Structure formats: C-alpha cells, structure tokens
Amino acid sequence: MPFVPLSECLIFGTEKTTLMPDLSYLEDLIVQVRRDILRQVHKVNSGHPGGSLGCTEFFVALYQVIMDRKDSFEMDGKGEDLFFLSNGHISPVFYSVLARSGYFPIEELNTFRLIDSRLQGHPTTHEGLPGIRVASGSLGQGISVAIGAAQTKKLNNDDHLIYALCGDGELQEGQNWEAIMYAAANEIDNLIVTVDRNGQQIDGPTDKVLPMGNLKAKFEAFGWTVIELDNGNDLKAVIEGLNTAKSETGKGKPVCVLMTTIMGNGVDFMMHTHDWHGKAPNDEQLEIGLAQNPETLGDY
Amino acid sequence: MPFVPLSECLIFGTEKTTLMPDLSYLEDLIVQVRRDILRQVHKVNSGHPGGSLGCTEFFVALYQVIMDRKDSFEMDGKGEDLFFLSNGHISPVFYSVLARSGYFPIEELNTFRLIDSRLQGHPTTHEGLPGIRVASGSLGQGISVAIGAAQTKKLNNDDHLIYALCGDGELQEGQNWEAIMYAAANEIDNLIVTVDRNGQQIDGPTDKVLPMGNLKAKFEAFGWTVIELDNGNDLKAVIEGLNTAKSETGKGKPVCVLMTTIMGNGVDFMMHTHDWHGKAPNDEQLEIGLAQNPETLGDY
Amino acid sequence: MKKYTDSGKKDTRSGFGAGLTELGKTNPDVVALCADLTGSLKMDDFKANHPERFFQVGIAEANMMGIAAGMTIGGKIPFTGTFANFSTGRVYDQIRQSIAYSDKNVKICASHAGVTLGEDGATHQILEDIGLMKMLPGMTVINTCDYNQTKAATLAIAEHHGPVYLRFGRPKVANFTSEDQNFEIGKAVTLQQGNDVTIVATGHLVWEALQAAETLNDSGISAEVINIHTIKPLDDKAIIGSVKKTGCVVTAEEHNFLGGLGESVARVLAEQHPTPQEFVATQDTFGESGTPEQLMDKYGLNAEAIIKAVHKVIGRK
Amino acid sequence: MKKYTDSGKKDTRSGFGAGLTELGKTNPDVVALCADLTGSLKMDDFKANHPERFFQVGIAEANMMGIAAGMTIGGKIPFTGTFANFSTGRVYDQIRQSIAYSDKNVKICASHAGVTLGEDGATHQILEDIGLMKMLPGMTVINTCDYNQTKAATLAIAEHHGPVYLRFGRPKVANFTSEDQNFEIGKAVTLQQGNDVTIVATGHLVWEALQAAETLNDSGISAEVINIHTIKPLDDKAIIGSVKKTGCVVTAEEHNFLGGLGESVARVLAEQHPTPQEFVATQDTFGESGTPEQLMDKYGLNAEAIIKAVHKVIGRK
Ligand SMILES: Cc1ncc(C[n+]2csc(CCOP(=O)(O)OP(=O)(O)O)c2C)c(N)n1
Ligand SMILES: Cc1ncc(C[n+]2csc(CCOP(=O)(O)OP(=O)(O)O)c2C)c(N)n1
Ligand SMILES: [Mg+2]
Ligand SMILES: [Mg+2]
C-alpha cells in the first residue's frame, strides 16, 4: 500500500540494501501534506497546525517508507506494523497522511472537525475511521496502549513492530513514566517510541513551562535504548533515524527516538514558536502559508 | 518536644557541633516502637508490620533528632519542620513514634484500626489525629503534597524543611515522576524525600514484580541530589544520612535519600521478605517477636 | 414575567479570570496553579500581576492536585485551573484522598466543561464531571450560568472554607445576571415564577431555560425557572417547594443524564415528593466535534429541547 | 416464600478467581493483568497456570488500563485486577479514553469495593465506583452478590464484547445462588415475589435484602426482592413492573446514595412511574476502619436498615 513499496526502498542504516526510495516524490508529498494541514485547520478555524507541521516528515517517512503495512485496514492489525499517536492533537498531519496513504478518501479531509464527521478533533475509533486504533487527545496514554499492542504481538508470535509518537511536553504526564519503566522491565523490544522534541508546549517553550532536563539521560536511566535524531525535518535523516531504531529492536530493550523538530516547520511565521500550537491561520495567513508550499500532488 | 532536645544533639555531618544525642535512649525507643508495631497489628489481625519495622530507625531519628518541631500540633505547621508519609500503610510505626513524641496519648495505640478510632488503617486528618496533615494510603500522592507544603514555606519566608517518606514499590506510580520532575524544575530545595528501599512490595521482591533499575540514576537524571544511605536500620547511620541531606538543602535542588532498609527488621522471621508486608502475627508469632524486642520504655 | 436581557455575550471562563484577577488584589493568600492552559483558563492576568503566587505545573494534573493540597498547609488558598476533564476524571483519586478526605481548602476551577467545548471533540468534552464531584463527601459543586455569575462565584468560593469544584465553559454565551450580585453557595435562585412546570437548570442551560419559559408563556404555559448554580449542597427546599406547586419538573444540564443534576433531583423527589420528571441532558453518549450551537442542538441541550420536555412532562401530570 | 440457604460463607473475589481460573483453561484469548495485588485478587492460580498470559504491571494502574486497551488489538481479552478504588477513580480518564470511548474489550475486575473492605479504612473504601463507571457510555456495570454469582459473571463477561466493570468484595459472605447458574448480563433476578414493597438490591446487600424479606414476612409484609446484579444496562422493565405492583421501593447498595444504583432507579421511576423510594446506602460520608460487620451496621447497610426503610416507604405510599 505505500506509494513507494518497501521492496524498492533503500533501508538506510541497516544491512539490507534495496532500491532508493523516490525521495523527490516524498518531498512533494510532504509539501502537499503541509497544505492539507493548513487547509484543514483554516476551514474550521480550529485545530493544531504547529505540532502537525513539525511532524510531517516523520509521518511521511513512517507510512511511506518505514512501516510494513497491509492494504486494507483491520482493527486487529495482525501481520503488520502498527502506529499509535499519543499526542492526538496533531490529528491534521495524521489524517492527511492516512488519507494520502489510501486509508480513506482524500476529500474527506474537508470534513475535519465538522459535526457528524469521522475526522474528529482528536483521532478516535468511535466513528470508524480506518487507520485509527485507539482514541487519543487526553495526553499521556499512548505509550501504555502501544506497549499492550506490542505484548499482544509477542503473544501472537507476530514479529511486526509497534510505533508510537508522543509530544515532549506530553512527557510531563506521569503515566508515561509508568509505561517507560514497565517497558524496560519487561523487555518490550518490538516497540519504537518517537518523541517530538520541538521544545514547545501550549504555554510556551518547554524550558520555561516545566524544564524537562536531559531527556536522553532520563530514558537511559529508565533502561531504554535512545537514538537522537537531530534533524526531524529532514526526510532522509528521519528515514535513517527510524531505520537505525528498527535495527535496535529485538535486543531486549525498548527503543526511543528523540526527534528534534521545528514546530510549525515549513510555514515561516509559524516556526520556532508555541503560538501556533492550537491556532488556525486567518485567510491572509493561509495564503502566505500555501504560497510557501505550492501545490504538488493536488489539493483535495 | 523531642525527648532529646535538638540543642543537645551532635549534628553529624554538618559544621554545627552540639552535644551527643542520647543514643542509648533512642535505641531503647526503637525497640519499644517495634513492640508497639507488633502489638498494634496483632490486636486487630491486620495492618502492615513489614515496612513499619524497616522504617523504625528512620522515624525515631526524624522525630527525635532531626526535625525542628513545635510542642503542640497545628495543621498549618508554620515555623517548624513538617513530615509527610506517602506510603501510608506503614501507619503503625508512624502512630507509635507520634505517640511517643507526645502528639497523643500512647494508650491510644490500643485503638489502632478499631471502629470509631482516630488511628485509621491509613493515616488521615479526618478524625483529627494530631501529627497528621494529609491522608495517605492510596500510593503515589505524598511527594506532590510535600512539594506544595514546601512551596508554601517559601511563600511564607519560613525557612524550615519539609520531609517525606515513600516506598520503593510506590515509585512505580507515575505521579511521583511528575512531582520529581516538577521539584527539580522549580528548585524546591527545602525538601528531603526519603525512599524506603527495602526491595520488597506486595507481590514479591521489587526486582521480580517490576524491576526498577537504578533508582539513583533515575533521580539524578531527573535533577535531584541523591544521598545513598546504605544502612537504614542503623540509627547512627540514619542520623548521619539525614544530616547530610539537610546540609544539601538550600542549594537549588531537591534532595533524595535512598535509604536501604530490611523489611521486617528486628523480628527475625519477618526479615528480608515481602510476606509480612500486610499480615499480622498470630499469638505465638507475636510472643517470639516481642521476646526478640524486650520491653524498654514501657508498653501501652 | 420577568425580563432578562443579555448585556453582551461573554464566556464564563472569562468571568473566572476576572474573579481571579480581583482575588489577586484583595486576598494575599490566594495562589493559582495551572497545568499548561493558562490562556484557556484566563489566568494570564493573575500570572502577570502576581508571578510569585502563580505556579505552572506543566502537563501533570495529578501532581497539581497534590501540590494544591500541600499548599493549604501554611494558609494558602489554591485555585487550580485546567479543563474540566483533566480537573476531575484525570485526578479523581488525588482529589479524593489529598483534598476531599483530607479536607483541604482547594478550589478546583474547571473550564471547557461539556459539549460546548466544541471542535476538540469527545476526549475533551467531559459530561460526567458533575457526577464525579458530587459523589465526594465534603465537596461543594458549582456550575455557573454566565460571566457575571462565574465572577461572583469565584469571589465567593475564596471565602468558603473547604474543597470546591467550580465548573464553567468555553463559549461566549448570554450574560444576563446582575454585575454586582452576591453569590450564595447552596442557594437556588428562582428566575421566573410559574405554576405549570418547574424547570431546574444549571450552567449554560439556564439561559436556554429562560428562553424556553418565554416561548412557553406565549403558548399559555407558566414555567417556574430555577437557576441551580450549586449542585451540592443541593437546595432541596427550593426544588420541593416549587414542585409542590407545579406538579412536574424538567431538569436541564450540559451533562450525561446519568449521575448528574437530574438524578440528584430525582432522588430528592423520590425521597420527599415523587413527581414526573423529564431530563434535558445528553443521553449516555460521548460528544463529538462541532460548533457549540450545533452540538447543543444535536444533543438536545437548548430551549427547544426544554420546551419539548415541558410539554411531555405536563402531559404526564 | 422461597427459601435461600447459605451453602457456606465465601468471598466474592474468590468467585472471580475461580472464574478466571476456568477461563484460563477454556479461552486462550483471555489474559490477566494485575497491579501488585495478585493474592488479594485471587489471581494466583491463573498466574501459575498461564504465566505467559499473566502480566504484572506493578503499582501503576493507569499504565495497566492503557496496556489492557492495547492488548485487545490483536484479539486478546484482558482482565485487569486491582482494588475497586484503583480500578476506577485512580484511572477514570484512562478508562474513559483508551477503553470506553475506544470501545476496547477490556474487563475491569475490581475487588475490595465498599466499606466491607474493612480495616484499611476510607482511602481504600470506594463508595463511588458504581456511579463512576455507570456514567461512561458503553460501559457495562455489574456488582455481584455472592461467590457463585461472581464466578458465573466472570465467565459471562468474557463472552460479551465490550468494556465491562465487574465489582466484587473482600469479606466472606453467604453463598446462596446456584452453582450452575447462567449469568445473563442486564437481566434482573427476582428472588422473592411480593406485593407490598419492592427491594432492589445489589452486591453484598442482596443477602441482607433476603434476610429483611423474611423478617418482614413474619410481620405480615410481603416484599419483592430483586437482585439487580447489572446496574448498567439497568433492567428498567423489571423494576417498573414490580413497582407498579407494590407501589414503593427500597434500593440497597454498598455505595454512596449519591450517584449510584439508588439514583438510577429514582431516575427511571421519575421518567416512567414516580414512586416513593428509600435509599439504603452510605449517606455521603467516607468510610473508616472496622470489621465488615461493624461497618455494615454503623453505615446502615444491613437487613435491619432495609427493614427500617421498608417501614418508612410503606408509610409514604
Ligand atoms: C491530560 C491532558 N492535559 C492537558 C491537555 C491540553 N493540551 C493539549 S496539547 C498540550 C500541550 C502538549 O505539548 P506537547 O506534547 O509538547 O505537544 P506540542 O505542543 O509540541 O504539539 C496540552 C497541555 C491534554 N490534551 N491532555
Ligand atoms: C494507588 C495504590 N495502588 C495499590 C495499592 C495497594 N498497595 C498497598 S502497599 C502496596 C505495595 C507498596 O510497596 P512499597 O511502596 O515498596 O511498600 P512496602 O511494601 O515496602 O512497605 C500496594 C500495591 C495502594 N495502596 N495504592
Ligand atoms: Mg512539544
Ligand atoms: Mg518496598
């Protein structure tokens, strides 16, 4: 189902070498996803563009290159890799990439946050949207859910991987540390948790709101393998980082990718600030944002 | 109010040197407290002797030597050091030391866990027992409360200290890590949290139930000053350790004392096992336990 | 019929913010805590004016509740601020033990309650918080109806000793109660006198109840409207007194019909004066994304729904 | 009058343990999770027989609920086990979002509910869990009355798709329902037919209701006794049917009278058939330490209290 089938991909950072993924296509997709994000939130004047834009490369890499996914969606997800979004507020990027990876019609992005829509403000299973396996939005719960799915994979002798994404501010929630402690203690080594380290949360930079110190040291003290992905907005770097993470699975430890991103990436006035965490652009701002990201694969 | 007034104490590990505390009296008190613990839980055939016995030296040191306390109890606790028990199940040792430090009549230990008593199974403010400032029992909440009290001390320009105790298994609760992160971020340096590192919890040794790895590394990664107190059942070592902790306050970091103790300490058949976490001795076992701890200061 | 006029739509959370700003000036013991939602809770002014009394706890609501409990020791009056879901369900056990059972003087101030939170959807739209908080012994539970009342309630709860849950919302709604009102905890306010039916409404539904009463009046039905801003302790007397006169009751709340105000009223009546009752409330479903108005409409939480319920309950007398 | 005999006192939690042991043998999809209370929850057998399907999560209930939700993806049927307080209030938001709203097939099994937990005292004695769980859309809420019924319910919920809250207790109580019963979720069981009053009881209060009915019978009052093991979905029909005949009702539960079974019944009656009702329940207080019997007595949760309530409610007809 990926536009760039896995078999044709160069798996960076591992011994398996296959063909080079069509990076130029993926770069086009990234720009198109940015447009989708802006247009979704603009239309309903609500939603979360900042974190979504910062994680665009990650989602594209994950769904187009990294994950071994099936063509059709089944809740049980047997025999494929699964992804869980813990920081559910960045639904715009999730929806765009899901739609553009074939899970549901791209035009449905038009219904984002509207009443009676399957595209709820925060992702939910409740409306039956393909691609979503658990609701999120209330922060701090996704890693636990991902661990459960990973343990079921082990019980089922299914050697596919579980991926999860969470925010950096989100890691202030204690449930994460319960989960982080548990995963190490139980050697959940089919799990890759990426942290969107954009250094921002709602009330300001994470360092001002509640300085979290050295995240790498924290995860390591909790027994995880940590991979630092310093340029989370460089597609190649993201693919490499996630492949490195993959190569660290199966070694008795859960794997954490600390992915440094720029909040609002790709729209200059949204970048490097928490201001656009949960605010939609007005008409004029939308125009500027779209101009900076010209249509590539076709708007919905 | 301490039996051994602070002014007469040698403050180990600090520059202030005063008189030597009457260690032999305190050793007698420790034995008497052990008897109180055994007799309390035996009488009602319920309660938690294991953790209580392991923390006897700590409570005696804290209330008799370390804390700067007032003679009468006031909820507001202005102008004195305060203590919060997070692992509320070890109420028997708390009650015994409170009573024997003058907070309420020693005979009241007779009412432990009985209906209409002020000595509830887990400590509570609800019945107005002097010495208790917050309820505990549901684990994981005490460090947060202690932080709040510490911040109020700062607001009130009251330079007294806040002490708290929690269990090692208790640290599996995520709320603790929220609190630990917050305390470092906000430089709560008038707070000393001791962890009862007995390596046991209800279902077995902590290392089997949910291995917690290196606690020192965890606290340090979370930005705390960590003091390892390797013999938490040696009174002198405990006094020294807590004094060292005291000397580390006021330096911009919260202070953690990792206190290694022996669960069930002082009653041979209760030692080094989780079996007596929450089980009372029968008549015969009580006799053996009491014989190993002959009456010193007088039973209630 | 009394006439109530909207002096201009305002959000109830701004009433909270204004009250907190005032408390900052008048009561040095008041401290405020927030879990990374300072702007949404309208706490910016307090933060700016009293940085030393403002505590940012980050995204860690359980810790916030514990810290607030601890801060009362030494005489502070902590006001915690976050969304209603994260003020209640997320931290129920922490409130239970460290605040309610410990009788700590903490004011839990909760915005974005109910479906009118809007587009964020069900994960954020708690419809159970009244029920959650009312079950806690010693907790006072308040749900205010407009900006002015929310401001007055914010000032009042600072004077009341003991734990309080103050619930308010996100959208701009009619502001119709008086600016200089005295907020009496636990005292129902009868907004309209009537003989045919009693409407007991709370929060955003109070204005809707007034609108309903006007329409009903035009069709010859005289409705008594009670603004029951305090759900606990509940003003049983006011309710029973009115119901004895009218013989039927409609309760209206932005909450699940299970566990909320409606069930509290049903219980009081079952104990003292069994009476036909209809429930304007959500019908045991989660909410969803949409505008506040769309959601009020879809989930039957407006004047129209109240009118329908009134007709039904009068038919059952 | 039907005669019920106690086949020997047993704890309901052991009924759960026995059910789980059986499920371990018969249903390979069943997995069990526990938060450091394996013995208290009687999960040792399952753990010993199926170590690979038993998950010890330590003292981290929030994480346990999330893991359970995740485990359903791929077809497992997780049974979580801890005390009732830590199964509900401690993890309300986790259950709400990751289990109830996400419609995950998790069975939340909760022991030590209510004051009969005994000596540990109020921090452990939750009296609000029925209310907490009943407010969650999609949640099935069950409170069983004895060992046999708890075992039967444990087996039944494994067959039911969707989130379930199963509440049971610590003390040894009369075991009087049949060993080979078929547990029907949502179907009230009428234990005694009667004409003067309906007693709707759940959990440990069912046996007390039967005792009360016997005593009442001796004094010429014929009580209908309904074992309402499922509080949600509530068997409205059974309740209304009985109340139409008797004209009054007493509800009996080991729970706060706010938010629990009693208020659910009051609501159903207010909507369909207003009727005098009395509430045998705790009266909005926390519990305390004591023996189960002492506490049942002090907090008015026994046959005696039911009899008193019956006399009162009959007088109100
Ligand atoms: C439990 C909980 N508390 C608070 C919120 C409100 N909230 C939504 S997003 C957010 C900030 C999250 O920060 P981060 O994880 O860094 O995400 P980013 O802003 O970088 O996208 C907050 C506080 C929430 N959704 N859930
Ligand atoms: C939130 C919560 N979950 C579970 C329990 C039940 N419980 C009481 S003590 C205990 C074990 C605590 O272990 P630890 O902190 O190491 O104390 P120790 O056994 O060493 O005294 C547990 C699980 C509880 N009291 N609170
Ligand atoms: Mg961030
Ligand atoms: Mg321990």
Contact D135 C256 (CB under 8 A): yes
Taking contacts as CB-CB distances below 8 angstroms, the residues of chain C near D93 are 85-86, 89-90
pLDDT-derived band of residue C81, with 50, 70 and 90 as boundaries?
A: very high
Contact D284 C131 (CB under 8 A): no
Please tell me whether residues C69 and C104 are part of one structural domain.
yes
Please tell me whether residues C201 and C250 are part of one structural domain.
yes
Residue B200 within any structural domain of the chain: yes
CA distances from B295 to B285, B290, B299 (A): 16, 8, 7
Please tell me whether residues C276 and C127 are part of one structural domain.
no
Could you give the CA distance from residue A21 to residue C262 in angstroms, rounded to a whole number?
60
Could you give the CA distance from residue D205 to residue D262 in angstroms, rounded to a whole number?
13
Residue-range definition of the domain harbouring residue D308: 189-314
Contact B148 C70 (CB under 8 A): yes
Q: Return the pLDDT at A71.
A: 87
**Chain C interface mutation, best of A48, A132, A173, A215, highest count of C Cβ atoms under 10 Å:** A173
Contact B218 A214 (CB under 8 A): no
pLDDT along chain B (300 residues), means of 10: 42 44 94 98 98 98 97 96 98 98 98 98 96 98 99 98 98 98 98 98 98 97 98 97 98 98 98 97 98 97
Q: If you count them, how many residues does chain B have?
A: 300
DSSP, residue by residue, B12-55: TTSS---PPP-HHHHHHHHHHHHHHHHHHHHHHT-S-HHHHHHT
Given CB atoms, is B124 within the 8 Å cutoff of chain C?
Answer: yes
**Chain B interface mutation, best of D85, D91, D120, highest count of B Cβ atoms under 10 Å:** D120
Residue D156 within any structural domain of the chain: yes
The mean pLDDT value for C185-194 works out to 98
Give the relative orientation of helices D261-272 and C261-272 as an angle to the nearest 10 degrees: 80
Q: Which of B120, B170, B276 to mutate to test the pocket of ligand 2 (most atoms within 8 A of CB)?
A: B170
Q: For A175, name the nearest residue in chain B, comparing CA atoms only.
A: B174
Please tell me whether residues C134 and C29 are part of one structural domain.
yes
Q: For C101, name the nearest residue in chain B, comparing CA atoms only.
A: B126
Residue B104 within any structural domain of the chain: yes
Where does residue A237 fall: left (phi above 0), alpha (psi -120 to 50 degrees), or beta otherwise? alpha
Q: Cα of B180 to ligand 3 centre, how many Å?
A: 20
**Chains in contact with chain A (at least 3 beta-carbon pairs closer than 8 A):** B, C, D
A169 alpha carbon, closest ligand: 1
Query: Given a cut of 70, is residue D45 above it in pLDDT?
Result: yes
| Atom from ligand 2 closest to the CA of residue B89 | 9
Q: For C57, name the nearest residue in chain B, comparing CA atoms only.
A: B182
Of the three residues C173, C204, C220, the one that is the final residue of a domain is: C173
Contact C36 A201 (CB under 8 A): yes
Could you give the CA distance from residue B139 to residue D90 in angstroms, rounded to a whole number?
10
Kindly report whether the peptide bond that precedes residue D233 is cis, defined as omega within 30 degrees of 0.
Answer: yes
Q: Cα of C137 to ligand 4 centre, how many Å?
A: 31
Q: Return the pLDDT at C251.
A: 99
Given CB atoms, is C60 within the 8 Å cutoff of chain D?
Answer: no
Residue-range definition of the domain harbouring residue B221: 25-291
pLDDT in tens, chain A (300 residues): 344 444 344 444 344 444 458 899 999 999 999 999 999 999 999 999 999 999 999 999 999 999 999 989 999 999 999 999 999 999 999 999 999 999 999 999 999 999 999 999 999 999 999 999 999 999 999 999 999 999 999 999 999 999 999 999 999 999 999 999 999 999 999 999 999 999 999 999 999 999 999 999 999 999 999 999 999 999 999 999 999 999 999 999 999 999 999 999 999 999 999 999 999 999 999 999 999 999 999 999
Taking contacts as CB-CB distances below 8 angstroms, the residues of chain B near C73 are 75-77, 82, 133-134, 148-149, 152
Of the three residues D173, D204, D228, the one that is the final residue of a domain is: D173
Of the three residues C141, C173, C205, the one that is the final residue of a domain is: C173
A199-226 burial string, b = 16+ CB within 10 Å, else e? bbbbbbbbeebbebeebbbbbbbbbbbb
Residue A17 within any structural domain of the chain: no
Q: Return the pLDDT at A17.
A: 43
Residue B258 within any structural domain of the chain: yes
Taking contacts as CB-CB distances below 8 angstroms, the residues of chain D near A144 are 62-67, 69-70, 94, 98
Residue A153 within any structural domain of the chain: yes
Given CB atoms, is A104 within the 8 Å cutoff of chain B?
Answer: no
Residue A18 within any structural domain of the chain: no
Is the distance from CB of D43 to CB of D20 less than 8 angstroms?
yes
pLDDT-derived band of residue C138, with 50, 70 and 90 as boundaries?
A: very high
Q: What is the CATH number of the domain that holds D266?
A: 3.40.50.920
DSSP, residue by residue, C107-156: EEEEES-SGGG-TT-TTT--S-HHHHHHTSTT-EEEE--SHHHHHHHHHH
Given CB atoms, is C99 within the 8 Å cutoff of chain B?
Answer: no
Q: Return the pLDDT at C269.
A: 98
Could you give the CA distance from residue D94 to residue C312 in angstroms, rounded to a whole number?
38
Q: Return the pLDDT at C154.
A: 98
Given CB atoms, is B126 within the 8 Å cutoff of chain D?
Answer: yes
CA distances from A44 to A282, B187, C125, C172 (A): 10, 42, 18, 17
Residue D3 within any structural domain of the chain: no
- List the strands of the sheet with D197-201, edge to edge: D189-192, D223-227, D197-201, D249-256, D277-282
Tell me the three state secondary structure of residue C243: helix
Pick from D135, D143, D43: nearest CA to D95: D135
Please tell me whether residues D153 and D295 are part of one structural domain.
no
Q: Return the pLDDT at B244.
A: 98
Could you give the CA distance from residue B73 to residue B149 in angstroms, rounded to a whole number?
16
Q: What is the CATH number of the domain that holds B126?
A: 3.40.50.970
**Chain B interface mutation, best of D61, D123, D126, D286, highest count of B Cβ atoms under 10 Å:** D123
Type and span of the H or E element at A85: strand A82-85
Q: Return the pLDDT at C91.
A: 98
Quote the ipTM score.
0.97
Domain tally for chain A? Answer: 1
Contact C36 A117 (CB under 8 A): no
Given CB atoms, is B222 within the 8 Å cutoff of chain A?
Answer: yes
pLDDT tens-digit profile of A10-27?
444 344 444 458 899 999
DSSP, residue by residue, C245-279: HHS-EEEEEEEESSSSHHHHHHHHHHHH----EEE
The mean pLDDT value for C194-223 works out to 98
Query: Which residues, other chains included, contact C40 with Cβ-Cβ below 8 Å and sequence gap of 6+?
Result: A202, C13, C83, C111, C112, C170
Please tell me whether residues D200 and D310 are part of one structural domain.
yes
Give the relative orientation of helices C61-71 and B174-185 as an angle to the nearest 10 degrees: 70
Could you give the CA distance from residue B215 to residue B219 in angstroms, rounded to a whole number?
6
**Pairing label, strands D54-56, D10-11:** unpaired
Please tell me whether residues D297 and D271 are part of one structural domain.
yes
Across the A:D interface, residue pairs with CB atoms under 8 Å apart total 119
Residues having CB closer than 6 A to ligand 2 are B 50-51, 87, 89-90, 137-140, 167-170, 196, 198, 200-202, 263, 277; D 36-37, 59, 86, 90
Residue C183 within any structural domain of the chain: no
Q: Return the pLDDT at B17.
A: 43
Please tell me whether residues C197 and C132 are part of one structural domain.
no
Please tell me whether residues D135 and D259 are part of one structural domain.
no
Of C137, C258, C264, the CB nearest to D286: C137
Kindly report whether the peptide bond that precedes residue C233 is cis, defined as omega within 30 degrees of 0.
Answer: yes
Taking contacts as CB-CB distances below 8 angstroms, the residues of chain A near D55 are 151, 186
The mean pLDDT value for D87-92 works out to 98
Residue D181 within any structural domain of the chain: no
CA distances from D35 to C21, D1, D83 (A): 44, 44, 9
The three-point CA angle C208-C209-C210 to 5° equals 90
Given CB atoms, is B256 within the 8 Å cutoff of chain C?
Answer: no
CA A229 from centre of chain: 14
Q: Cα of C58 to ligand 1 centre, how many Å?
A: 9
Taking contacts as CB-CB distances below 8 angstroms, the residues of chain D near C299 are none
User: What's the whole-number average pLDDT of chain C?
Assistant: 98
| Atom from ligand 1 closest to the CA of residue D93 | 1
Beta bridge partners of C78: C31
Residue B298 within any structural domain of the chain: no
Q: Cα of C205 to ligand 1 centre, how many Å?
A: 29
Please tell me whether residues C40 and C102 are part of one structural domain.
yes
Give the relative orientation of helices B23-44 and B235-247 as an angle to the nearest 10 degrees: 100
Q: Cα of C57 to ligand 1 centre, how many Å?
A: 13
Is the distance from CB of C1 to CB of C192 less than 8 angstroms?
yes
The mean pLDDT value for D42-56 works out to 98
Q: Return the pLDDT at A11.
A: 42
Residues having CB closer than 6 A to ligand 1 are A 50-51, 87, 89-90, 137-140, 167-170, 196, 198, 200-202, 263, 277; C 36-37, 59, 86, 90
Contact B178 C75 (CB under 8 A): no
Q: What is the CATH number of the domain that holds D84?
A: 3.40.50.970
Interface of C with A in 45-84 (CB under 8 A): 56-60, 62-63
Residue B132 within any structural domain of the chain: yes
Could you give the CA distance from residue C56 to residue C68 in angstroms, rounded to a whole number?
12
Residue D5 within any structural domain of the chain: no
D179 catalytically annotated: no
Q: Return the pLDDT at B71.
A: 87
Percent of chain A with pLDDT over 70: 93
pLDDT tens-digit profile of C48-75?
999 999 999 999 999 999 999 999 999 9
Query: Given a cut of 80, is residue C275 above it in pLDDT?
Result: yes
Please tell me whether residues C236 and C126 are part of one structural domain.
no
Pick from C188, C186, C174: nearest CA to C303: C174
Please tell me whether residues C259 and C137 are part of one structural domain.
no
Taking contacts as CB-CB distances below 8 angstroms, the residues of chain D near A151 are 55, 67, 70-71
Count of CB atoms situated within 10 Å of the CB of A26: 19
Query: Given a cut of 70, is residue C239 above it in pLDDT?
Result: yes
Domain tally for chain D? Answer: 2
pLDDT-derived band of residue C211, with 50, 70 and 90 as boundaries?
A: very high
Could you give the CA distance from residue A260 to residue A270 in angstroms, rounded to a whole number?
16
Q: Return the pLDDT at B4.
A: 45
Could you give the CA distance from residue C260 to residue B247 in angstroms, rounded to a whole number?
52
Contact A76 D74 (CB under 8 A): yes
